[in-house]
A = this chain, B = another copy of it.
Amino acid sequence: MSRPPHARESVLDAFAQILMDDGERAATMDATARAAGVSKGGLLYHFATKDALEAALIERLRVLVDQDVEEISNAPEGVVAAYVRTSMMEGTALDRALLGVSRLAQGGSPAAGTALHEIRERWADAVRPHVRDETALRLVLLVSDGLYFNNLLDATASGPLADSSELDALAALVRDVTAPGD
């Protein structure tokens, strides 16, 4: 229970971090092993191939998304506002995993691309009951995607583009213009 993170977890952490900081090309097995403080042989004991390493990060992402869906479903501010607002919190394990897998997908990994589609559907299902129609749902999802896409670019190029109060205002706007009922 209080077991410290195994080497396996350190490797996965390092892989996600390099993907986020330096892009897909930099995330080689060699660089990952070095960043994790293990040898290439050590890494290869846990992940026999690059595909296995990528699959493990995808699996980690799935678990974290399950947790996130659970959390935003119970958020007091409402599902829509919570979903939009938490699209921007750089620094959570979920963000690192999601940015990392997105980079893998855009590098050309079919498994990563498929996983991202399934994940998007999970979020869509959680949000759908809380918006007025499919166009409103599309708006919510796209704003969130846009926030992630910006993070995806900013992670390597420049600073963050929105502070917390800007994000609150945006989340409130999106909630208001998509709310059902009225």
Q: Quickly give the copy total for this chain.
A: 2
Contact between A166 and B135, CB atoms less than 8 A apart: yes
From A105, which residue of chain B is reached at the shortest CB distance? Answer: B153
User: Bound state CA distance, A108 and B144, in angstroms?
Assistant: 23
A139 in complex: contacting residue of B22, B134, B143, CB < 8 Å: B143
A162 located at the interface, meaning its Cβ lies under 8 Å from any Cβ of chain B in the complex: yes
A145 located at the interface, meaning its Cβ lies under 8 Å from any Cβ of chain B in the complex: yes
A49 located at the interface, meaning its Cβ lies under 8 Å from any Cβ of chain B in the complex: no
Contact between B106 and A136, CB atoms less than 8 A apart: no
Question: What is the minimal beta-carbon distance from A24 to any residue of chain B, in angstroms?
Answer: 5
User: Bound state CA distance, A157 and B114, in angstroms?
Assistant: 6
Q: Mark A137-172, 1 if CB is under 8 A from B, else 0.
A: 011011111111110110011100010001001100
Contact between A153 and B108, CB atoms less than 8 A apart: no
Question: What is the minimal beta-carbon distance from A141 to any residue of chain B, in angstroms?
Answer: 7
- How many chain A residues sit at the interface, stated as a range, is 35 or more
A35 located at the interface, meaning its Cβ lies under 8 Å from any Cβ of chain B in the complex: no
Contact between B166 and A177, CB atoms less than 8 A apart: no
Docked complex: A7-25 residues within 8 A CB-CB of B: 22-25
A116 located at the interface, meaning its Cβ lies under 8 Å from any Cβ of chain B in the complex: yes
User: Bound state CA distance, A138 and B22, in angstroms?
Assistant: 26
Question: What is the minimal beta-carbon distance from A20 to any residue of chain B, in angstroms?
Answer: 10
A interface with B by C-beta (< 8 Å): 22-26, 102-103, 105-110, 113-114, 116-117, 134-136, 138-139, 141-150, 152-153, 156-158, 162, 166, 169-170, 173-174, 177
Query: Apart from A105-B157, A114-B158, what are 10 other A-B pairs with CB-CB below 8 Å?
Result: A23-B107, A113-B157, A117-B158, A135-B169, A138-B162, A142-B142, A142-B170, A145-B146, A146-B146, A148-B149
